[in-house]
Amino acid sequence: MKKQIVPGWVKAYFTFFLANWLLFGIFRIIFLGVFHAALTSAHYHELWTTFYIGAKFDFRLAGFLSIPLGVYLTLCAFWKGALYIRKFIAALCGVLEAAVVLVYFADFAHYAYIAMRINYSIFKYSENPLISLQMAWQTYPLVWAVLALLLCVGLGYWFVNQLVQKAFSTPDNRRWWGKLGWFFLSLLIAGGLGFGKISQYPLRWSNAYHSTNHFICNLTLNPVLNLFDTARFVKADSFDADKTRSYYDEVAAFLQVQNPDKEKLSFDREIANKPANEQHDYNVVIIFMESLAWNKISFTNPDLDPTPFVRELADKSILFTNFFSPTSATARAVFATVTNIPDVTSFKTSSRNPLVVDQHVIINALKDYEKYYFIGGSANWGNIRGVLEHNIGDIHMYEEGQFENEHRNDVWGISDLDLFREANRVLAQEQQEEKKPFFAIIQTAGYHRPYTIPEDNAGFKPVDIGEDLAHKRSFVSVAEYNSLRFSDHALREFFKLAEKEPYYKNTIFFIFGDHGLAAPQSENMPRGTVELNLINHWIPLIIAGGPIQKAQKIDKTASQVDIFPIAMGLLGRGYKTRAIGRDVLTTNAGAEPGALIYGWADTPSPIGFVQGEYYYHSQGEKEGLYKYAAENFREDLSTQEPERFAHMKALAHGLYEASRYEFYHNQKQNMEEEK
């Protein structure tokens, strides 16, 4: 008898794997056929991408579903005695198949009911099981559904039973190492299909949100995987409408809500266009500088001068000296800046939460602008791809592997210098070819462990200041100090290139840190900022470029959530918003200053509010009002200044609750679409 090249048990495994993949693909086609009315003709061209990415999600689910059979077939290959439990394994696979089909049934019903793919919140219906069961009985054909599920069990049992019988109908006389080789090869193939991408980061749920069209993204999702992706977030986070309402008056006044409505919890504002002579078509470049913390830079380390270019740029630009990140994580900074909502989630980051990926973004009001995002690594990091691609219309994403000239530097992708060079090349080419203004975001990551200085560094020279001095001045090492210096050096090189291009004179640059960095010694900082951990949030904001004609130093307290509104104010463009961010520079110059602070990494999580020299800080049952930069920063001023204390407390907790509420109420479909 001719020897089989591929063992029968390996064939059986992949037959089961591919049969499930095909089944899930058929379900996706049926979903499109049933709900195609939600698809607009403008998005037909995205169906290819939808089915391509969706097929990869289906591969992953097929791989998970095939694990029990794969383990069993491997066991049988080494020990024929395992064949005695063949019928049990076939029954188990049949039950698993039926469970998956049940999720698909529920998903179809769920989408038909509320136009949303099934997620973990469906289990909230179990809180009132009798009512939920009655509703389902009166709404859906449950008898037919149960019969269909029993049929799935039977078909699954029969199919797997036949596969196993056929797999071992011909003896496999390979030695143990040959069988082991086939096992690892199969594992590698299945694992690669499950990983879903030839990339540093695997396929993630955010890849489904490649379009601004809600139906396209829903069509891309796999409902079973979506249950698992949303489970952690439904358990960890939600909002409390009653608490939000209890602080509504203070928050509405702070946000300057035009038509307050406490019952509806309306935070809606409509910012009108400025007069025609005050409207501009400036380009805007938003630059996230990794860990550009106030305690690290030249303003607080003048003798070490780690950021000479940032210092020089600030001297001829608009500098915010009391500027803060609401939280201390890069993905949280991206979410806060883009959505204008502080990322106060207690679990991971909001960018990783599929339930809040859909957000209204005010720069979509710039309909005549091209939008760009540049990152030296992968946009799958932190699932920020979903936040950007799904919410910013027609954004051009540039990441590692898509640049003309790139050299991988370390785990974070290409160097900041290469990133800036490529961003400048693309933007200069855009201006020459498209003749349209642009709004670009550049995300750096080089100032980060392992602090790699690239070989191609444009003449950068490291400096040894000694480890002891580095520690005293907020750095963990000399290597970190030089990494920040190189980050500043790369920024200087970017501006050198940009100033040679025609677009520069018409471009406004926003340069700021994605978050601060804690350092226990930090002798260059007021001690209160260290012990109250404000150095984890304190960052600079510099607004520079050709249109900025006058240098200003602004001491008003502001936050990352204000950046996009400030940009829209400088452009003189109107927009609608219900988020937390405000234009504190121009149109709302009389707005009350302040910045929400949320310490997600500690338990219990601190909630605070900075306003001028004052800091309201609460953690668990302990709370107080402090002058964070004063010598007596430990003195609680709450009894000495009770009105200020009460007001800042209300804004701290009110903005925190309003942010949690807005995660789920700032969706694009809840506002007039700006497309």
C-alpha distance from residue 391 to each of 142, 335, 419, 578 (Å): 37, 11, 23, 15
Where in the sequence of the chain do the CATH 3.40.720.10 domains occur? 278-580
What is the average pLDDT value for the chain, to the nearest integer? 90
Q: Given this model, what pLDDT does residue 130 score?
A: 60
| Of 406, 408, 307, 390, nearest in space to 353 by CA | 390
Residue ranges of the chain with pLDDT lower than 70?
1-4, 113-114, 122-140, 142-143, 145, 172-174, 176, 234-237, 587-590, 668-675
Q: CA Rg, the chain, in Å?
A: 28
Q: Given this model, what pLDDT does residue 330 score?
A: 93
Q: Given this model, what pLDDT does residue 673 score?
A: 44
Q: Quote the pTM value.
A: 0.85
Give me the CATH topology for the region 278-580.
Alkaline Phosphatase, subunit A (3.40.720)
| Of 478, 143, 488, 453, nearest in space to 291 by CA | 488
Map residue 288 onto helix, strand or coil. Answer: strand
Rounded CA-CA distance 339/585 in Å is 18
Rounded CA-CA distance 530/302 in Å is 19
Q: Given this model, what pLDDT does residue 675 score?
A: 39
Alpha helices, DSSP H, located in 440-575: 467-472, 478-499, 527-531, 563-571
Helix (H) or strand (E) holding 68: helix 47-78
Task: Provide the token pair at 617.
Answer: 């800080």
Q: Given this model, what pLDDT does residue 588 score?
A: 58
Contact 219, 36 (CB under 8 A): no
Q: Given this model, what pLDDT does residue 236 score?
A: 61
* Dihedral sign computed on CA atoms, order 585, 591, 594, 600: negative
Could you read off the pLDDT of 621-636 as tens digits, one per residue? 899 999 999 999 999 9
